[in-house]
Amino acid sequence: MRIHLFKCLLIVGALLLGASDHTTAQRNYSVKLIATVSPPHSPFLHSYSYSSALTLHLILNGVTAYAGYLRIKLESMDGRGIVIQTRANYLPLLDLGPSQTMNGSDLSDYFDVSNLDFQGYSRQQYLKTKRIPDGIYKLTFSFVDRYRPSVSVSNVDILSEKTLRVFALQPPILNFPLMMSQTNRSNQSLKPIPISWTRPANTPFNPEYELVLNELRPDCQNQYANINANNQAASRISQGEIFNCLGPEIFRTSTTSLIYNYGMQAEPMLGLGKWYAIRIQARDPQGRTLFINDGVSQIRVFRYGKPCPIPIRLKATALNPYQVQLDWDALPDHTGYTVHFKREGDAYKWYTQRALSNRTQINDMEPGVSYSFKLTANCNAFGSEETATVDFRMPTPKPTGVQCGKPLVVDLSNQRPISNLRVGDKIMAADFEFTLVEVKPLGGGWFAGRAYTHINYFQGARVFARFDRIKINTDKRLIDGELTTTGAGTQIIPDEWRDQYLSFTGEINNLFDEIERGLDKIDQVVGKIDQVLKKVEQWVKNYNGPDKAELLETIQIGKKAIEEGKKDWKDGKLTEAAKKLKDGSGKVLGAAAKMVKNTLEKLLRDLKDLLKEALDALRGRSKAEKEKLAAQKKKDWLAYQKLRAEVVIEDQGFRIKVNGADSTLAPSGQTTGTEVKNDLFPETTHVAISQTEKAKAFDEKVNTLLEVYQKFDFEKLRFDQILVYINDPGKFGTLLEKVKKSMESLGEELLEDLSQNKLKLVKAKIETEVNKIIDDLVKEFYEKESKK
């Protein structure tokens, strides 16, 4: 009986205890709190004041209104005893309705340091570090009654208590450039600077990055001149020292990528041999402060390229009253030179001449005139600063001491013929020095060609001569044959222009030479002169130069002489006919030469403005094409992703053969969606595997997309190069020289357009030449990059 009674008591006690526990678990609170704290959990208390940092739902239970106070408590869970909670005297009254929601912004005052009590970690420590130590914390929200502040009227459970894993994110780490390293060592013009960095570890979101580039102050530029990445001094330079060296900001941009190629987006040009500083700042797109040092990386310092040294010891030496030789010291980094010179009194008119070595010769100087010379060196795509100006006065010709009738004694004992002569060589004929402008070897030491000399006692007048068969010895002296003078005075048009634009001049002169040798060529001369006369009359009709009236008169005089020559030819007076035809055609050709000279000089003067117009037009078309390709790329990319996902799903049902037997790929689980990686293209075509229509369409889409990507990359490079030519005066000058040479190579085709005032056609040809130059440059760069 006792045992039975004891069992009954145990059962009743258990029932009562269970009922008690059930009553506790089901206790009804007046306010139900539901908190949500979004990761990552920052050690900076003010970070919880952002609207997206946390959400607190306050729901009344059994009542429609309630007034009281909200309390928060943050305590460490690793035994350090850190407790941070709402101050007892901070009592902002909350009048609650049936349900309301508060976010971090609404609760910002609760996370204000002045409204919090600190235990285990003092307020002074927090104000000094601006953060709480990393660790595991519990954040508790509670609601107390207005009249009984010590009585909690809210739930205490996982809904109102949140465990926080608190840690601060490290700033990004710069990978390249290396500290105190040198980029673009070879001084290439189109070589971008790859800047890369590492994403902060454990970052649960995709940060935004801001790249800032500064030039170092001049005193620091000099201080770091002999430091490099392998120098021990580089490792001793502190971040504080570098920060104090920061000079003007050169560039700033934002990106979500981990790499930036500086120099591909028309960024500011960097100075050759100068030091620059880079730093990267990581930021939360939602604006929360989560990073140590505000997300700013350590500063990296690098040097851009090698400074192109200025040539030294520029010296001028007169070879004779008409030629000067310039010498200077060559340095290892130099790849070429540009000589700048001007005549005394010409304030701004500097002429240039290229040189590949450290010596050059300038011809056609004026005796007794002072000239100024200066020099720049080229180091691949970049140039040095100018040297100091060297002033030099050309000597005056010495008195000739000519005595008419006195026999000339010339030593011709050296009869060894020279094997080779080149344009520009000097030869002596009697006591005259001739400069070769045309030379053709005939074999056996004989040469033909043209030359000129200066007659000192005619105030240095230039006299031209031709030679059909002469022999020159190894002392460069005439030992056999003769030079025949063809005229004296100033050459109207340079030889290279005459050959390009007035090729018929040479044809007519050659015909007259044959006539002088007794050949019957007058009929051919007359036919050629008629063709030329018709062309020249058309030119002068459209010519608008100030000397038009003078040229018209000259042409009329020439025409009259030509008509008289034709009459003499018909009358059988061949000698008189040849003389009048030669004289008349000479006047017409002279007028044509002046028109060509003036027209081309005007084109070259206007070419700078025409080139700017061409670049602006090309920039507009390239921008439109780039935007068109960008839209096409986006459209094709979306279609590619969709089609690829369909192909992947389709392939899941296929069988594969293993050792001759069919084997089915079993699914690993229910697939809710197919992720398409943005950086992958299939290496093996799907159509070669599955032979389905979707696979075929997918392979076609891959080829189309790759083609669009290549076109977009090419057009982007092209657009950037156009901007470089527009914004960089040095690059613009280089392009101007290339276009000038290209336009000159068009010869008479260009002259015809200019003579007929077809300016639109000339502009179109300039655009075509610029387009070709840019396309060739970009194609070369693109092919090099594609091979890497």
Per-residue pLDDT tens for 86-108?
998 999 999 888 899 999 889 99
**Higher model confidence: residue 333 or residue 228?**
333
Strand arrangement of the beta sheet that strand 300-304 belongs to: 181-183, 300-304, 274-283, 208-216, 246-255
* CA 604/CA 607 separation, integer angstroms: 5
Looking at residue 665, what is its pLDDT? Answer: 41
Residue 65 near residue 95 (C-beta atoms within 8 A): yes
* CA 516/CA 15 separation, integer angstroms: 143
**Higher model confidence: residue 464 or residue 490?**
464
Q: Which of 266-275, 464-473, 477-486, 757-766 has the highest mean pLDDT?
A: 464-473
Report pLDDT digits (tens) over 141-159: 999 998 888 888 999 898 9
Find the mean pLDDT for residues 414-442.
87
pLDDT at 415 > cutoff 50: yes
In the chain, count of helices (H) and strands (E)? 15, 33
Looking at residue 15, what is its pLDDT? Answer: 44
**CA torsion through residues 396, 401, 407, 411, sign:** negative
The CATH code of domain 312-393 reads: 2.60.40.10
CB hemisphere CA count around 519 (13 angstroms): 10
pLDDT at 494 > cutoff 80: no
**What tokens does 388 get?**
């100091």
Topology of 173-304 in CATH? Immunoglobulin-like (2.60.40)
Give alpha helix (H) positions in 652-758: 687-690, 693-727, 729-744, 748-755
pLDDT at 190 > cutoff 80: no
Closest CA to 266 of 575, 717, 776, 696: 717
CA 77 to chain CA centroid, nearest Å: 56
pLDDT at 592 > cutoff 80: no
Looking at residue 327, what is its pLDDT? Answer: 92
Least confident of 15-19, 300-304, 645-649: 15-19
Which residues of 266-369 form beta strands (DSSP E)?
274-283, 300-304, 312-320, 323-329, 336-343, 351-355, 359-362
Give, as one character, the DSSP assignment of residue 285.
Answer: T
Find the mean pLDDT for residues 756-769.
73
Looking at residue 746, what is its pLDDT? Answer: 62
Nearest 5 degrees, angle CA 749-CA 751-CA 755? Answer: 125
Report pLDDT digits (tens) over 206-238: 888 999 999 888 888 777 766 766 666 666 777
Q: Measured between alpha carbons, how far is residue 689 from residues 302, 639, 668 in Å?
A: 51, 21, 22
pLDDT at 296 > cutoff 80: yes
**Higher model confidence: residue 17 or residue 405?**
405
Residue 685 near residue 699 (C-beta atoms within 8 A): yes
Residue 596 near residue 751 (C-beta atoms within 8 A): yes
**CA torsion through residues 609, 610, 611, 615, sign:** positive
Looking at residue 459, what is its pLDDT? Answer: 44
**Higher model confidence: residue 63 or residue 550?**
63
| b (16+ CB within 10 A) / e for 286-314 | eebbbbeeebbbebbbbbbbbbbbbbeeb
Where in the chain are all domains bearing CATH 2.60.40.10? 173-304, 312-393
Length of the chain: 788
Looking at residue 230, what is its pLDDT? Answer: 64
* CA 774/CA 630 separation, integer angstroms: 21
pLDDT at 750 > cutoff 70: no
Q: Name the phi and psi angles at 44, rounded to 5.
A: -95, 115
Find the mean pLDDT for residues 615-621.
84
Residue 405 near residue 397 (C-beta atoms within 8 A): no
Looking at residue 278, what is its pLDDT? Answer: 93
Give alpha helix (H) positions in 84-155: 123-129
Looking at residue 673, what is its pLDDT? Answer: 40
Strand arrangement of the beta sheet that strand 193-198 belongs to: 173-176, 193-198, 259-262
**pTM for this entry:** 0.38
CB hemisphere CA count around 528 (13 angstroms): 22
Could you tell me which CATH class the domain 29-166 is placed in?
A: mainly beta
pLDDT at 9 > cutoff 70: no
